[in-house]
């Protein structure tokens, strides 16, 4: 690969908008182990938050993906690979970046927000109960208990 081709590939990989419109690869070898990456990401993303039992699995996957990304990037930067192989590596790196972005957007269950939501609902139920108990009729806008 010519130096200008290598530079071109590295610029494509590091472009901020590189992952826009890119699909997560169906299957990828990470650390020598085949992974159904798209299925894994979509399985986790469907839940919106990372369940307690899945956090370790997701964090381990992210670490492995980052490590694999670095190894592939180093092959382009340092090894004497031909341009076609470099293009394949660049495409796979961008796919890994897309998967990492999707996994990074996940958030752990926010217990504080959930507690606040529950508290607000409890207050609302309590106010509704008090209004009924004191004879306030919300539907007609009049008070009872003359």
pLDDT tens, position by position, 43-95: 877 776 676 777 888 888 889 999 999 999 999 998 778 999 999 999 999 99
User: Are residue 122 and residue 91 in the same domain, yes or no?
Assistant: no
Per-residue confidence (pLDDT) for residue 146, from 0 to 100: 47
Q: What is the pLDDT of residues 93-123, one digit of tens each?
A: 999 999 988 888 776 555 566 667 778 888 8
- Indicate if 67 and 132 belong to the same structural domain: no
Angle at 38 between CA 85 and CA 87, to 5 degrees: 15
**Does 68 share its domain with 118?**
no
Number of domains, the chain: 2
Q: Do 52 and 81 reside in the same domain of the chain?
A: yes
Same-domain status, 102 and 117: no
Structure tokens at 84: 């076609």
Could you tell me if 20 and 64 lie in one domain? yes
**Which range marks the domain in which residue 116 is found?**
112-143
Q: Say whether 109 sits in a helix, a strand or coil.
A: coil
User: Do 78 and 129 reside in the same domain of the chain?
Assistant: no
Task: Indicate yes or no: pTM above 0.75.
Answer: no
């Amino acid at each position: 690969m010519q130096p200008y081709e290598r530079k071109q590939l590295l610029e494509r990989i590091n472009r901020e908008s590189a992952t826009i419109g890119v699909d997560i690869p169906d299957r990828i070898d990470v650390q020598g182990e085949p992974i159904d990456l798209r299925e894994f990401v979509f399985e986790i993303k469907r839940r919106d938050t990372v369940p307690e039992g899945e956090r370790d699995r997701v964090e381990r996957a992210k670490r492995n993906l980052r490590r694999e990304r670095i190894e592939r990037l180093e092959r382009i930067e340092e090894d004497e690979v031909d341009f076609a192989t470099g293009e394949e590596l660049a495409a796979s790196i961008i796919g890994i970046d897309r998967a990492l972005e999707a996994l990074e957007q996940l958030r752990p269950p926010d217990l504080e927000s959930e507690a606040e939501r529950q508290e607000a609902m409890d207050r609302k139920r309590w106010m509704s109960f008090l209004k009924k108990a004191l004879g306030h009729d919300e539907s007609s806008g009049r008070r009872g208990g003359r």
